[in-house]
Structure 1
């Protein structure tokens, strides 16, 4: 009897096990279990990301070394000074746009590309009046930045700065175009301005100088150059159209096309102030007022001097300095201009060979 009871229990357990096997859910094979990727998934479709991906490879770091004179108690000695700036590749055969102040008087220049390669650089030429310079490295096939027409800029559009602020390589900051056509006084003694500048609130710090300011399409709209130290969120860039023109002139002729004068636009209010406060004799209220004539320039060779007021170019009246500069650029290298000017109360003319 006992063996019959044991057999019945065994059959019952087997039956229960078979029912459980049929009704329980089957486990999925390990090979079919979906596994999520552990790699970070960035949003590559964001406009800023795409813009930086386009312009980043054409942005470079520029390391400079120069010797400066340092006072040491009762004598002077030379001391090595290192500097860091940025630049933007302008041509595939090694021409790079940067700021004049980044490479001025540098004895040694090293350009580091975005891929880490480093090359010695030489200064092709520079222009302190626009704070632009061209550096050449002996390598071909470089990635080249696209340049937009800065005349089409609108206040409020996105502005992206790429550079090496404080030595931090390939740093990107964003903001907007805060204003256009700003004139920035950089040398009060000589009344020297950087004219027609782009103002932006994209963070710009030492080391950004010479790097590109780009739009959302990854096109260069300006070359960053200056900040106002006492203010936050105010930086400036040289418009891309100006940068291209000066860059082309330096590459082709080793120098920019210049009349060789500093000054500003004379207005009735300014003329009245100069007569009353500086006791200057002015026969006109409008024109290009010359505060300095640089030696060895076309203006100096034509006999222009400080205090002259240019009122017409080739018989066409001008309202100020901007029209005079435009006429010079239009005439081009080797061109000539007939300038009408006033020296005190005396009206005169001179021929300028550019």
Structure 2
């Protein structure tokens, strides 16, 4: 009897890995949008927020073909994670918070036109924690060398052991993975409160060039917000935060993550050419 060669063994192992994960993979149907998702906990589905319509009804199609309506528990556009609730008791796939090694194989198990689908690629780049363009805290940089259809966003990325290390999404010119650690952190907060708290200063800012750097002019101000309460006025120019020169409006906004709520920041501003300092207690951004 001929022993199976290495390619045959690899093929069988991949097929078994995909078969184990497939029951937990779902197709997410929202208004004029199709995406993939997976069972995070019994009755709770995680999908890519970017691929989910902003309004209308949502329907989940399971691997066995059954369809059930779903409701939004919460969405976080900064980390591209949305949590949905649906009736069902499908077991979730085991997730691993370990970052896969560069060059290791990655299997994307997703849904395409309502049926389970799979793609094989490799981990093309890994790196430390980073912030998305929308200010979300992503626990690790994991890029995949694989093609991905729009409808396959929200599928699971599996390592060679069959463990899910993240959710596959389309990034700028590349396929990214939202790591399992980020999913666990954000989905747990969405399950608990339906939203992710973000820091709020209560000002609308416009970058301005100064002789010695960059400032942020207060173009409008929430009269009931933290900055107004601290004494900041429309027309003030923020030049420093906690004693450090301002590097840009975006950098200031990115510093207002969930951990910033309740903290006190020291803002240095120019008012009429004179420097003034204000201590602002960061509030929680309104849901609007």
Same-fold call, TM cutoff 0.5: yes
Query: Of 172, 193, 210, which aligns to 1:281?
Result: 210
Quote the Cα distance in structure 2 between the aligned partners of 1:212 and 1:294. 43
- Equivalent of residue 95 in structure 2, options 118, 135, 147: 147
Specify the structure having the higher radius of gyration (Cα). Answer: 1
**2:3 corresponding residue in structure 1:** none
Cα distance in 2, alignment partners of residues 102 and 195 from structure 1: 19
Structure 2 counterpart of 1:350: 280
Matched, 1:159 2:109: no
1:215 partnered with 2:159:
yes
Structure 2 residue 120 is matched with structure 1 residue 174:
yes
Q: Equivalents in 2 of 1:280, 1:317: separation in Å?
A: 13
TM-score w.r.t. structure 1 length? 0.60
Which structure shows the higher strand fraction? 2
Q: Higher relative contact order by CA 8 Å / sep ≥ 6: 1 or 2?
A: 2
* Kept in 1: contact 2:68–2:86 (CA 8 A): yes
Separation in structure 2 between the aligned mates of residue 281 and residue 147 of structure 1, nearest angstrom: 49
Deviations 1:137-158 (A, max 9, x none): 022x2211222115x3432222
Structure 2 residue 10 is matched with structure 1 residue 87: no
Q: Alpha carbons of 1:316 and 1:184: their partners in 2 closer, same or farther (altered >3 Å)? A: closer
CA distance in 2, matches of 1:56, 1:310: 51
CA contact (8 A) 1:51 1:215 kept: no
Deviation by residue 1:16-52 (Cα, 9 ceiling, x = unmatched): xxxxxxxxxxxxxxxxxxxxxxxxxx85884433332
1:339 aligns with one of 265, 269, 276: 265
Figure out how many residues of one structure are paired with residues of the other and give that number.
257
Give 3-state SS (helix, strand or coil) of 1:280's partner: strand
For the residue of structure 1 that corresponds to 2:19, the secondary structure is helix
Q: What is the Cα-based RMSD across aligned positions, in Å? A: 4.1
- The residue that corresponds to 1:26 in the other structure is none
The structure-2 alpha-carbon separation of the partners of 1:144 and 1:310, relative to structure 1 and needing over 3 Å to count, comes to farther
Structure 2: distance between partners of 1:237 and 1:107: 27
Distance 1:53 1:226, change over 3 A: same
